[in-house]
Amino acid sequence: MSVEQLMTVSALTSAYRSGTQTPESVMHTIRQRAEQYNNYNIWIHLLSEAELMPYLEALADKSPETCPLWGIPFAIKDNIDLAGIPTTAACEAFAYTPKTSATVVQKLIAAGAIPVGKTNMDQFATGLNGTRSPWGACKNAFDPEHISGGSSSGSAVALALGMASFSLGSDTAGSGRVPACFNNLVGLKPSRGILSATGMVPACKSLDCMSIFTLTCEDANLVLASAEGLDQTDAYSIANPFSNQSRHFGSHGDKLRVGHLPETALKFFGDQSYAQAYRDTLDSLDAFEVEWVEIDYAPFEEAARLLYEGPWVAERYLATQPLMDEQPEAMFPVVKDIIQQGAKPKAAALFSAGYRLEALKKICQAQLESLDCLLSPTAPSCFTIAQLLEQPIERNSQLGYYTNYMNLLDLAAVAVPTQITPHGLPFGVTLVGPKFSDRYLLSIATRLQNYLRLPVGASELVPEVTDQTPVTRQEEIDVLVCGAHLDGLPLNWQLRERGAKLKRTTRTAPCYRMYALAGGPPFRPGLVLDETQGAAIDVEIWSMPAGQFGSFVAGIPAPLGIGKVRVEDGSQVCGFICEPYGLDGAEEITHLGGWRAYLAR
């Protein structure tokens, strides 16, 4: 089996363990392949054998058992630092040589990964097409006449053509998703801040995030787990919460409630093959038991327009200001034309746009709250390079129609391949969710990838079915109450003020005894399991936001506590139970069937 067929992380790891490949043999083959595709303009700096040697030698001191990316090659977009290698952001006049690698790169190398080189990109990450570079237009892995997508063009194409097992990009407007679509890859645009941006040249510092390209969703989860973490050197870095940790990745198996755009909001700019691929994708999801919910896309589209038509272009100006002020002629012409507009917005325009953005966030997030995800095309069309160069501003803007809003609205997204068009070009969709839904989205995406069974990248490899651990999103926790927390009673405020809602009134299984405990007010019952002399007791089940559950439980006084209570339908729910010692001095009221009946007596 060739190296090209082994480039997923799991397959390459297995090859190392079996002894059929070594990191040295893999890197040798990658360098040969880079030469083969030299005219695709993929690399700005491919590491030499001498530059690779320290990374290969360092593997001897690392264990494959404790380093999950041991010997795994990865590509780095050239706006992300690798120690000792120039960072150019695709502009020679801007270049500098960092002494230390970006925080994320350091973490990946510590996990055993091997950097292959620095990849071509749209200059200063300004573009979604891959043609805005002095190193030449980066060509599509499937058809060199077509664009590869940008700005993370080289990172995507290097992966698709078998020169890496994963790659790093950056994403402000869609640069971690559009190239994934055009090159048949998974593109993870994480929640902003869970990957450190230290060591990454910013495009829009307040909006940017590093992105991850992989061949499978399982690889995306593994790379994210190795790279994430709070970084005090990055002012925008945030800790990833428990609910979004790696252990919550699997395969989503429940019925899905998925948002989709109304037909009137869909735009493919004349590309009928992409329009049909999108419809075919939706049809294929019928096997998933999907409940489709049409959303109002207008507020998302309005937010998207703010990115380039609003004052945020000033951030691009700030990121390049010394060069723009002193050597503007050194910049790629169309990039210069875009960035120089950033000197014009006034503070009043920024605040005005900020006010509108906050209003749009509320509207958009309210629509997402009831959904498992929003699904849209990743890109409307894959233009030829010639078409893009004919209308570089307009067509680049069209490429961001489905992507530009996401970082402004602080959302997470996963681009996943779904079709190969009759013209031989990849097509894919993007799953969108709220901040910190990364692992949940990856779990839906892996279910989709396992179902469709497409070859990955530009290879003929169809990966083995990945992690099938069942995953659901637990944003709410059901709480069973039987006494003072019942609706309308003295402690019910402890539920309502935490955002809990009454889900249903029911009864326990017929195996509980109820007691009126001594003391009060408030007067409280005790529920005790008794398999032989128990009865069914009237209860209520409330649905509480998961983030509020801990404080609720912490406030429960002894001898009461929370345990699993059986319900008459056979399910088990977190609910109030009582320690046996609490029954001293209590009155048994089981025969009354519930607390309300006791109060009425």
- Whether 501 is a known active-site residue: answer no
Cα(122)–Cα(90) distance, integer angstroms:
7
Which of 598, 491, 498 is closest to 543 using CA atoms? 498
Burial 338-359 (b: 16+ CB within 10 A, else e): bbbbbeebeeeeeeebeeebee
Cα(169)–Cα(150) distance, integer angstroms:
9
What pLDDT sits at residue 3?
60
Q: Read off the pLDDT of residues 245-290 as tens digits, 9 standing for 90 and up.
A: 999 999 877 789 999 999 999 999 999 999 999 999 999 988 788 9
Q: In which residue are the tokens 């507009």 written?
A: 341
Sequence-distant (6+) residues with CB within 8 A of 580 are: 528
Tell me whether residue 272 is exposed, middle or buried, using C-beta atoms within 10 angstroms of its C-beta: 0 to 12, 13 to 18, 19 or more: exposed
Cα(275)–Cα(427) distance, integer angstroms:
10
Q: How long is the chain?
A: 601
Rounded (5°) CA angle 52-54-57: 110
Cα(175)–Cα(305) distance, integer angstroms:
16
Per DSSP, the three-state class of 145 is: coil
- Whether 175 is a known active-site residue: answer yes
Rounded (5°) CA angle 16-21-27: 110
Domains with residue ranges and CATH for the chain: 3-471 (3.90.1300.10), 476-600 (3.10.490.10)
Of the listed ranges 18-22, 236-240, 307-311, 560-564, the one predicted with least confidence: 307-311
| CB distance 210 to 198 below 8 Å | no
Active-site entry in 152, 153, 155, 175: 175
What pLDDT sits at residue 325?
87
Structure tokens that stand for 515 in this block: 């007691």
Active-site entry in 77, 107, 118, 336: 77
Cα(405)–Cα(310) distance, integer angstroms:
12
| CB distance 226 to 107 below 8 Å | yes
Q: Read off the pLDDT of residues 509-539 as tens digits, 9 standing for 90 and up.
A: 999 999 999 988 889 999 999 999 999 999 9
Active-site entry in 151, 165, 167, 437: 151
Cα(1)–Cα(162) distance, integer angstroms:
14
pLDDT for residue 5 is more than 80: no
Structure tokens that stand for 427 in this block: 């097509």
| Three state DSSP letters for 378-402 | CCCCCCEHHHHHHCHHHHHHHHCCC
Most distant CA atoms of the chain, gap in Å: 88
pTM of the model as a whole: 0.92
Q: In which residue are the tokens 């809003």 written?
A: 405
Q: Read off the pLDDT of residues 202-230 as tens digits, 9 standing for 90 and up.
A: 999 999 999 999 999 999 999 999 999 99
Structure tokens that stand for 348 in this block: 């009043």
- Whether 151 is a known active-site residue: answer yes
Q: Read off the pLDDT of residues 427-474 as tens digits, 9 standing for 90 and up.
A: 999 999 999 999 999 999 999 999 999 999 999 989 888 667 777 777
Q: Read off the pLDDT of residues 41-81 as tens digits, 9 standing for 90 and up.
A: 999 999 999 999 999 999 999 999 999 999 999 999 999 99
